Structure 1
Amino acid sequence: MPRPPLSEKDVLIEFQPIGSIVRVSAIDPVTNTEVIIQGPASAGKTVLARNALAKLNYVLRKGTA
């Protein structure tokens, strides 16, 4: 049975500013699956966190971790 999508409360999200971009890591603490995205710092933390969470849910759904 597939696992329901994770929400921001279910994952660890880390922001690392690197010049004008931000590196965002999203980690599922249950499976230790980690995904990383990069985006412009001007996008804001909410947008970057949502995109990282979407990628994590995609990876978990596809089983490509």
Structure 2
Amino acid sequence: MVELTRNGAYLKCSAVHVATGVEASAIGPVTERTGLERIAIAKLKRALASR
């Protein structure tokens, strides 16, 4: 699951693995939505691989 939260000029993208509850997030400018999603998902994959 990917969740986006906007706070002014910034966007927080949280990627959550529903089965385990592991979460990873990335924060950046609103204009970089796809990049933030890509980063958050990559961080989540690394977190799951280290478990």
Alignment of 1:56 with 2:19, yes or no, is no
Alignment of 1:15 with 2:43, yes or no, is no
Q: Please give the root-mean-square deviation of Cα atoms over the aligned residues, in Å.
A: 1.0
Alignment of 1:33 with 2:33, yes or no, is no
Stretches of structure 2 lacking an aligned partner (at least 5 in a row): none
- Radius of gyration: which is bigger? 1
Q: TM-score, normalised by structure 2?
A: 0.87
Higher strand proportion: 2
| Aligned equivalents of 1:54, 1:29: Cα separation in 2 | 16
How many residue pairs align between the two structures? 51
In the TM superposition, structure 1's runs of 4+ consecutive aligned residues that sit over 4 Å from their partners are none
One-letter amino acid of the structure 2 residue matched with residue 47 of structure 1: G
Question: Equivalent pairs: percent with the same residue?
Answer: 31
One-letter amino acid of the structure 2 residue matched with residue 54 of structure 1: A
Q: TM-score, normalised by structure 1?
A: 0.71
One-letter amino acid of the structure 2 residue matched with residue 60 of structure 1: L
One-letter amino acid of the structure 1 residue matched with residue 19 of structure 2: V
| Aligned equivalents of 1:36, 1:46: Cα separation in 2 | 13
One-letter amino acid of the structure 1 residue matched with residue 39 of structure 2: N
